Structure 1
C-alpha cells in the first residue's frame, strides 16, 4: 500500500510539473497576442507624443525677444530637423490657446490671441492719431517699398512734411533699409515686422489688392487706364539699386538727415522734373 501511495504521489507531481511547463510556454504566445490586439498600450508606455524637435522650437521661440527667422532657428536645431513643418504644427497646436504662434513675413513669434487683446488694454497707452499725410506716406511705403522720400513726394504730388517720416519711424512701423545708388544716395524706406503685427498681416502679400480697395470705397470715379496696385516683396534683402547703411546708421536705427542744400539748389533726392506743392500738415 505504501508503495502504491508513493507511486501515485510521484505521478501527480510529474503531471503538475508538466502543466506548469505548458502554462509557462503559453505565456509568451498570449502576451504577444494581447500586444497585437492592443498596440496603443505600447504607445502609451513609450515616449511622449510631441517630438523633441517641437519642444526645442517652442523653447527657442519663447525665449526670443523679437520675431525669429526660420534660418536662425535652423542653426540652433539638430541637423536634419524639419523646421517649417515643426512651426506649422506648433501654429496649429497654439491656435485655440491664449497665446498664438504667428508668422510675420519670414519670421515667427508668439503673440497674444487677438480675441484676448481687451485683457491688455489697461496696460496700453492712448495711441496718437496719425495725420492724413502720415497715413498716406505709410501706405506708399508699404506698397512701393523700397522707396525714397523724393519718390513718396512724386507719388503723392505734395512735399512730405519734415516730421512725417520721423513720426512713422517713432511708431516702429517703418525703417531705413539702405541708400539708393543714385546722386545724393537718398535713404530708402520699408516696413517692419511691427507693421505686420499691428495690422494683423502675416506677410506683405496680404495687403489689400485693387478689388478689395474698390470694395472698401477707397476709389471714387473712373480709374486711369493701366492703374494698378503694386505687389511688394517680403524679401528683406537689399536690391541691386540699394547700398547698405553704414555701421553707425545701423546702430542708431535711423539714417542721419541729409543736410539742406544751399539756396537755389535742389535737394539731392528730389526729382527735378516733378513739381510739388507744399502741404499744410
Structure 2
C-alpha cells in the first residue's frame, strides 16, 4: 500500500471542505482522496491548525465543515431595513386620508365605493403613516383619521400643503391605480381644520379595525 504524505492529505481535505457547498462525511472525503489516505489523521491535524482562529473545523451530524468561530458570530450579523410595499388598496386609502383629512372610515368607504378592509387601515397605523385624530361631532361620534409626520418624511414633504396633484402622485408611485369613482383631490391648503372633531380621550374605545394594533402596542 502506497504511503500518502500526511501533509498532502491534510491539504486535500482542507481544499475539499473549503469548496464544498455542504458538510462532507469521512466517506465523502474518501471518495475524493487517493487510496490509503489517513482521513482521521488529516482531520485531527486540521482541527489543531484552525483551533483559536477566526474559522474552525467542526463536526455536524457526522459531517465536517468550516464555520465562523462561535465567539465571532456577531460579526456576521447584518441588519437591513426591508421597505414594506403598500398594496394598491392601502395606497388608495392613504391618498384619500391625506387629501380629505380628518376623515372617518365611513367617508373613506364612500369615496372608494367599497368597504374598507380592517387590515388595510391596520397596516397604515402600524407603519405610522396614519393616526387617529379625534371623534367627529356627529351621530355615533366616529373616529377620524389623519396623516403623521412619518407620512411627510416618507414622501419628502415639508408640510401637507406640498401634497402633489394626481399626475405627480402617479409619477411618484403614491397612487398606482386608476382613481375610483367619486374620488377627488382637494386643494391641500383647503384641508379641514378639524374644528368639527373632539380629541380622543383615555376612556374612548378604539374602532374595531384598530383594536388589534393598539393591543400589540400595549403588550410592548
After TM superposition, the score normalised by the length of structure 1 is 0.39
After TM superposition, the score normalised by the length of structure 2 is 0.49
